[in-house]
Chains A and B, each alone.
Chain A
Amino acid sequence: MTERGSNEGADDSDPQAAETDGGTHVTSDSVDAALDDIETTGVAGYNYAYLDEHTKREVRRAMLKAVAIPGHQVPYASRPMPLARGWGTGGIQASLSLLDPTDTFKVIDQGADESVNAANIRRLAADTADVETTTDTTAADVIQSRHRLPEEVLTDEQRLVLQVPITDALRKVDPSDTANRRRHAHQNYGKMWVHLYENVVEYGEINIASRYPTMVAGRYLMDPSPIPRWDVPKLDDADHLTILAAGREARIYAVPPHTSVEPLAFEDRAFTVERFPDQACHACGSTDTYLVEVSEETTDEGGFETRYACNDSSFCAKRRETPALSKDHHLDQSGVDWGPGTPDAGDGGETK
């Protein structure tokens, strides 16, 4: 990340920025002609990576601030995008602000590259930012994802952009942003602890599925976006930079590399990830990946059969070729701890 990070500062000398003087790329000197140009040439009439250079710089500044204060939500002027709000507009603004033409971009939605919305976001980046796209996690420089971290270990060369629907973990216990900002300022997370305790009293265990409240660098409580609990340990002391960006709520926050990320839990009620007892992916046989279940009709009348399959479709395809492929196969070292069920990392990493 440090290498990438230092590139951010070089934006002032970016030829694109110089050419457009930081504004929208207006090709003609009259307003009408510029409008005609946009109307007739479609996406080609827009600035590089769709957003104007001022906006991209503003988004990058918000990201830098977010990196400097891990887990803290930084407001930014989220622009209306040609995608609906709530459909990844924060993520795409972050991605488009990071990408340059030498980058390779991967977009996944709920673990799948083929999802319609992922395809739509990928198409916008490919059309406007002139980037290569890939479905291979290890080949991507920037990965935009909705609700998953890939199964393959991310490296310090890679940046992960997570789409965020709800920016504040405290929203569960208080809808007011004003009140919650005050709580963050005072590191007052009592109300969340009480919520978790009441969960235990009522159900015997903590009842939070995804969006698990997580302490970042021992200071800010963070909503890690609706990634499953399975993925939360991967954020802890990771090599890669994670940017979490919300378009509708206009906030950006980040988990810098090698930052502690600790899910809230009690000594006698430990943080647990999703369980897939005795299940393996029906396609590749994996038992160490996040699985999702699919019910399919069987040949007998009215019968259903539930099968499990890898959620990370790109890694599943690789495992079908090479069943023994490890999650850190692309790295120099092995035994990298990457979330739960990492077979060669020793303890499985469930409650690290």
Chain B
Amino acid sequence: MGYVAVTAGEEVITRAEQLFEKQRVDGDSAELGIDQVDEQLGRLTAQAMSESGLYAPRLAGLAVKQAQGDTIEAAFLLRAYRSTLERYDETVTVDPGEMIASRRVSPAFKDVPGGQILGATKDYTQRLLDFALEGGETSDPTAEWDVDDAGEPDRLTNVTELLREEDLLHEPDKTDSEEPTDTTRKSVTHPPARDAVLQELARGETGAITALGYSALRGYGQVHPTLAEVRVGRLPVRITHPYTEEPVTVTHTEVTESEAVVPVYEKRDDPQFAFGYGLTFGRNERKAIGMTVLDASIQLDSEAEPAENAEFVLDTIDGMDSFGFIEHLKLPHYVTFQSILDRIRSIRERQGVSAEGAADTGSTHQPAAEVSDDD
């Protein structure tokens, strides 16, 4: 039938899937292993885990491979899988202060307790294409390093603790409930509790978090924070042992954490810095810092700027939501478009405009008709 714009059955869907899969295997190169994705493209898997809210490096590697490198699609695969899993237990609340940090930067002070740990970063290298990577074997450039084993690392004192001792930092509102909010089990309603805001930000799309965080710095907001801590490291996952009822560490997750002080005085009579927080799975400093800016901005609770409006931020940062709705525009819309055509034709008839062009109605400029459809 020629008049149905998109006519198909299951066979066509299957064939489209097969064509997509063919794109991955069409070249002459060797098949990409999950381990290769996990080890060599760690930023992709970290982003997929962060945006899906599921810490599972191997599954993330699989998702990235299956999605052919599309991180939102990979995060989507992980979320859909996550939603089918039984919840066996909840973890014991972890203190991020016990993080075994592989990287720690504190721009607020020249020197901080525990020192700055530059760690693995590309921050200060020159962005030049390295043609040596193009082919052949690359070796471990740290192989010749002579490193002393200094034993277990000390707990790093958090820079914000120094400020808290001096009472310079405003404590964000505590949530009333002991039970943490879970926005995957209870949809967000406004105004949201802060833990719901943090959960949504932690699962937000990296690009969206970066863009909205940037908007606040760019002038569409008041938050220009000083970072007290940016850390990358491993945090333990602990559950209560069912028999001994003691907490047991079952695994570790790699996270990026960021804390900021914001020179927006919370109270006139007792000036204190505002505080922003960011934490996300995997190594993603850009997202953690963007989240910090947005957390601090949202606490200002203003409708004046996009980043300070919790509703605006939470409505737009979720990658699954935005990706799905943006791409749904590819679905057929001929029913609604027929309805829109009816409206514009009716209005043109009323105004005496024919298909040949505008009639002389005396008015020089008609505003563009905004026919409502928005589906």
Contacts and interface: CB of A to CB of B under 8 A. Distances in A.
B14 to A, nearest CB: 9
Contacts of A77: 184-187
Contacts of B372: 172, 207-209, 211
Interface string A130-144: 000000000000000
A221 to B, nearest CB: 15
A197 interface: no
B86 A226 contact: no
A89 B335 CA distance: 20
Contacts of B76: 80, 84
What's the dominant secondary structure at chain A's contact region?
A: loop
B342 A274 contact: yes
Contacts of A282: 3
Contacts of B331: 87, 109-110, 117, 146
A35 B45 CA distance: 20
Contacts of B334: 110, 292, 311
A178 B3 CA distance: 43
Contacts of A112: 4, 6-7, 332
A85 B85 contact: no
Interface string B349-375: 011000000000000000101111111
B70 to A, nearest CB: 12
B338 A250 contact: no
A165 B327 CA distance: 13
Contact of A119 (B1, B13, B338): B13
A303 interface: no
Interface stretch (B158-166, B279-287, B318-326): B318-326
B347 interface: yes
Contacts of B341: 293
Given A84-B324, A116-B13, A211-B374, A205 B346 contact: yes
Given A77-B187, A226-B336, A274-B339, A114 B7 contact: yes
Nearest to B16: A116
A211 to B, nearest CB: 6
A24 interface: yes
Interface in B119-149: none
A177 B335 CA distance: 27
Contacts of A148: 335
Nearest to B86: A24
A210 B335 contact: yes
A204 interface: yes
B332 A110 contact: yes
A248 to B, nearest CB: 5
A114 B8 CA distance: 5
Contacts of A15: none
Contacts of B325: 85-86, 165, 248
B323 A228 contact: no
Interface string A281-310: 011000000111110100000000001010
Interface string B75-90: 0100110111110100
A136 B225 CA distance: 61
B8 A119 contact: yes
B29 to A, nearest CB: 26
B4 A313 contact: yes
B290 to A, nearest CB: 22
A172 B331 CA distance: 22
Contact of A209 (B9, B80, B339): B339
Contacts of B252: none
Interface of B: 1-10, 12-13, 76, 79-80, 82-86, 88, 184-191, 311-312, 315, 320-321, 323-328, 331-336, 338-343, 346-347, 350-351, 367, 369-375
Given A84-B323, A203-B351, A283-B1, 11 more contacts: A79-B83, A80-B184, A86-B324, A114-B9, A123-B10, A172-B374, A209-B340, A209-B372, A210-B336, A211-B373, A292-B334
Q: Which 9 A-B pairs rank lowest in CB-CB distance, beginning with the nearest?
A: A85-B324, A226-B375, A250-B187, A86-B328, A86-B324, A86-B325, A209-B339, A84-B324, A80-B79
